[in-house]
Amino acid sequence: MSVQIAVRWSAWETEGLEHCHVSLDTDGVQIRAALSRNRSIPYAVQYHVRADAGFRTREVWVDCIGGPRLHVTSDGQGHWHDLIRDDPLPGLEGCLDVDLAVTPATNMLPIRRLGLAQGEHEEISVAFVPPPDEIVGRFLPRKLPQRYTCLGDGRYLYEGLTTGFSAEIEVDEHGLVIDYPGAFRRL
């Protein structure tokens, strides 16, 4: 069975809009979107994320329109490869999830993969992709520790363990963000 979902998010405090299409089937999930934001610099991004049936990230493509591109793959066991430069990415060893800073869509992947019950939490390492206005050097993901805690009723506490950032996010039955205070809200 295939489920097709179209969602839109706006940025919480700045101008910005994202249109996202999610396809869920027995082979996994495909997330495709286009967005624009007006932060320290205005930017537009297109991205495509592919995950397997266990919600482990397998491929990430990001195009910062008029700027850098990123295309990486993972074997689903935490081994990553930069397809643009044909280089392994040992710094991402052990990461099963991607976190694209420009969107709440990728929060769905660890939420679904972990399958936490109310009160449970888990610390994970993600392949974090910064927004265009925070790219320094090569445009590649970097490993970041995070924690997800299931609060029940479609609510999760997200914590960036090195950034000090935390937010209580609300998700729908598919794990897609409805409300992410301070960052995104679904339209």
Across all residues in the chain, what is the average pLDDT? Answer: 96
Give the model's pLDDT for residue 14: 78
Residue 74 in 3-state DSSP? strand
Q: Which residues contact 164 (CB under 8 A, 6 or more apart)?
A: none
Give the model's pLDDT for residue 40: 81
Residue 132 in 3-state DSSP? helix
Segment 19-68, tens digit of pLDDT: 999 999 999 999 999 999 988 889 999 999 999 999 999 999 999 999 99
Give the model's pLDDT for residue 24: 98
**Using an 8 Å Cβ cutoff, are 22 and 7 in contact?**
yes
Site of tokens 């992410």: 180
Provide the whole-model pTM: 0.96
Give the model's pLDDT for residue 39: 80
Which of the residues in the chain have pLDDT under 70? none
Going from the C-alpha of 54 to that of each of 29, 59, 92, 139, 171, the distances in angstroms are: 9, 14, 19, 27, 19
Which among 102, 105, 107 has a CA at the least distance from the CA of 124?
A: 107
Provide the sign of the torsion angle of the four alpha carbons 53, 147, 79, 61, taken in this order: positive
Give the model's pLDDT for residue 105: 98
Percent of the chain residues past pLDDT 90, beyond the cut: 92
Burial of 187 (0-12, 13-18, 19+ CB in 10 A): exposed
CA distance 39 to 21: 24
Q: Which residues pair with 125 in a beta bridge?
A: 145
